[in-house]
Amino acid sequence: MKGGVRYMLVLVLGLLFGFGGYFPLNQTSVYAQALSADEKAKLQAEYDQLQAEILQWQKVLDDTRTKKKTLQGDVTALDAQIKKAQTEIKQRGLTITALGSEIQQKTKTISTLEARLEAGHESLAKLLRQKNETEMLPLALLAFSSKNLSEFFSDADLIDHISRDLDAQFSEIRATRTQTQKERSELDTKKNQELDAKHDVEVKKTVITNNQNQKKELLAIAKDEEKTYAQVLAEREKRAQEIRNALFDLRDAQGISFEKALTYATAASQKTGVRAAMILAILSQESDLGKNIGSCYVKDLSTGNGVGKNTGTPFQKVMKAPRDTEPFSTLATTLGFEWSTTPVSCPLSPTYSTSRGYGGAMGPSQFIPSTWQLYSTRLGAALGVSTPNPWNPGDAVMATALYLADLGAAGQTYSSERNAACKYYSGRSCDTRSPRNYTYGDSVVAKAQTFQNNIDFLGSL
C-alpha cells in the first residue's frame, strides 16, 4: 500500500532500463538441443579423425623441411600442404554444421524468452492497474465501506496479495531479461565463430589453388633437369628479395623496407599476440588514409587551430585543446621537436563541427596525444626506452600492436581482427549502419591476408 502510482512507475522504469538481479529459469524445454546426443558424438568422432589426419600431414611437412630446395622435396611438401588444407576444410565443415545447429537453437531460445517477456509485461500492466485502483481508495474509507471486519481484512489481504504478485512478476521479468541478454551474447559469439570458420575455408581454398598450380609447374620439370629447377629457385629468391626491399609507407614518417617493417612487427607480435600481418595492415591502411586526407600543423595550443602542411589552408581545431594540445607540446619538447612544425593528421574538413570532430593524431600509428600519454608507460617498458616517439617506426609499430591487443585482435580470428580494426578507426565494432567504419575493417583484413601471403612465402624459402 506504500508509495502509490509514482513508486510503481519508478519500478517499471528501473526494470525497463536495467537494475540487477538473476533468477534462474527452470523450463528445461527452452534448452533442448537441435542435435541429438548420438549426432553430436558422431560429429565429434569425425572431427577427431580429421584432426589425426591433419597431424599426419603436418608430420610429412616437418619431415620434408630437410629436403627444401630439391625438386622432390618441394613437390612432397606442396602435396602435403594441399592434403592438410583439404582435411582442414572438411574439419571446418563439421564445425560449421555444429555451429549452425547451435545458432538455430539459440534463436529459438531467444524467441521463447521474448514471448515470455511480452507475457510478463502484460501481466505486470494488469497488476499495476489493480494496484492503482486499490491505492485510489484510502484505508479509512475502505474500512467504513466494508460491511463488517471480516470483509475489511479480506480486502486488505487482496491488496497485500497484489503487492506480492507484483514483486514476483518483477523478479520473473528481471530474470527473463537477464537470461535473454545472456542468450543474445552467446548467439553473437556463435555467429562470429561460424563467420570465422567460413572465412578460414575460403582462405584455405585459395591456398590449395596456389599450391596446386605450383605443384603442376614443378611436375612439368623433368627430374634430371636440375639446372631448370635451379632457375625456379633463383626466380623465387628474386621475388623474395623484391618483397623484402619493397618500400613500406608510413604516415607522417619516412618509409622503411618491408623487411624492416616485418622485423618490427614480428617483435611486437611476440609481445602482444597480435599477428604481424595484422599490425602491418593497420599501418598500411593509415598510410593510405594519410595520402588522401593529408597532414596538418598545430599553430595555436590554446585553440588547437592549425594549417595544412602542404597547402597552408587554415583548419579550425586540428587538435582538441587542452586535452591533446598540452601533452602534445610536452612530448614534442621532450623529444626535441618544434611542436608547431611537427605533422599531425588533419580533420576531415577545415571548418569545425561536432559531427566532423578533430584530427591531431600522431605518426604512423595515429594515436592522439592523450592516448599516447596513456600508453607511454607500457610502450616504454616494451621498447626499453624512457620516452617513446610516435614518429619513430619501431615505436609506432609496438604502439599499434598494444592497442590492437587491447581491442581483441590477439584472438587472431577473422571476426576478432575485423572488429579490432573497426574499433581502431572509430572506437566501435564493425557496423553495417556505418559504411566508413566497416569498409575500413574489410580493407584491413584484405591487406592482412596479402601481407600474410608474403610472410608465408618468405618463410617457405
CA nearest neighbour of 259 among 406, 458, 28: 458
Q: Walk along the chain (461 residues) and give the pLDDT tens digit of each residue.
A: 334 433 333 333 333 333 333 333 333 333 334 677 777 777 777 778 777 777 877 777 677 766 666 777 788 888 888 888 888 888 888 888 888 888 888 888 888 878 777 777 777 677 667 666 655 555 445 444 544 445 444 555 556 666 676 677 777 777 777 878 888 888 888 888 888 888 888 888 888 888 888 888 777 775 556 557 777 778 888 888 999 999 999 998 889 999 999 999 999 999 999 999 999 999 999 999 888 778 999 999 999 999 999 999 999 999 999 999 999 999 999 999 999 999 999 998 999 998 899 999 999 999 999 999 999 999 999 999 999 999 999 999 999 999 999 999 999 999 999 999 999 998 888 876 677 778 899 999 999 999 999 999 898 87
Structural domains of the chain, with CATH? 4-219 (no CATH), 248-460 (1.10.530.10)
Q: What is the pLDDT of residue 70?
A: 74
CA nearest neighbour of 363 among 337, 385, 393: 393
pTM: predicted TM-score of the whole model, two decimal places: 0.70
What Å distances lie between residue 322 and 10, 300, 330, 346, 352, CA to CA?
40, 11, 12, 17, 16
Q: What is the pLDDT of residue 323?
A: 96
Q: What is the pLDDT of residue 2?
A: 37
CA angle 454, 458, 461 (to 5 degrees): 145
| Cβ atoms within 10 Å, residue 325 | 24
254 phi and psi, to 5 degrees? -70, 135
